[in-house]
Chain A
Amino acid sequence: NAGVMQNPRHLVRRRGQEARLRCSPMKGHSHVYWYRQLPEEGLKFMVYLQKENIIDESGMPKERFSAEFPKEGPSILRIQQVVRGDSAAYFCASSPPGTSGGYEQYFGPGTRLTVT
């Protein structure tokens, strides 16, 4: 039973380029979350999505960042015109539908974005 998959694992972009990070949730999971971890900090919530819907984007920067979870295919976190401050580890998590099983979220290995 494959876990949460993220690709690429490492991504290097020059300032001004676009970064696309992909996340495939665990089988049977329909809820996807994106978190960002800056150096020496904890994980910070960015966005919570269900299929074709953004449920909570309260942690997303107002500009340059967007996320989607289409009916088919992985969830995508897109960062336009990257700046050095975007360099971080981006983690995706997923959880099953409903809450009978608790609120555990299961994380992928992360994408480490470096902006040069």
Chain B
Amino acid sequence: DQQVKQNSPSLSVQEGRISILNCDYTNSMFDYFLWYKKYPAEGPTFLISISSIKDKNEDGRFTVFLNKSAKHLSLHIVPSQPGDSAVYFCAARGSTGGGNKLTFGTGTQLKVEL
């Protein structure tokens, strides 16, 4: 059972426009959410995170929004740049039993076009 879902395998955006990547989860015990960016043949790089007690966190061009009632979060990148082209993974941490393990979505391939 996929507890963290990224339903869009790919997204194409023009340079300078906004990129919106979506993520849904089913486990209400998740208490912390993270976004990672991954280039081919490299490890995931941490981008931004949000606690379940907040609904928004911003860091430069990156903003994460959390809607707990809908069990949905999104990552906004604005303005998008060609260097943002990568696979983006949403991840969630369980608050009980699972310790610090992260549950990942399957990723969204973002392509920022000139």
Chain A interface (Cβ < 8 Å from any Cβ of B): 4, 6, 31, 33, 35, 40-45, 48, 55-56, 58-59, 91, 93, 95, 102-110, 112
Chain B interface (Cβ < 8 Å from any Cβ of A): 4, 32, 34, 36, 41-46, 49, 51, 89, 91, 93, 98-107
A41-B106, A43-B89, A102-B32 as given contacts; A107 in contact with B101, CB under 8 Å: no
Docked Cα-Cα span, A43 to B103, in Å, equals 8
With beta carbons under 8 angstroms apart, the residue of A4, A40, A58, A105 that contacts B102 is A105
Docked Cα-Cα span, A104 to B100, in Å, equals 9
Q: Please state if B99 and A91 are interface contacts (CB–CB under 8 Å).
A: no
A104-B49, A105-B46 as given contacts; A56 in contact with B99, CB under 8 Å: yes
A42-B104, A102-B49, A103-B100 as given contacts; A4 in contact with B43, CB under 8 Å: yes
Additional 5 contacts, C-beta under 8 A, given A102-B32, A107-B44, A109-B41: A42-B89, A42-B107, A91-B43, A107-B43, A110-B43
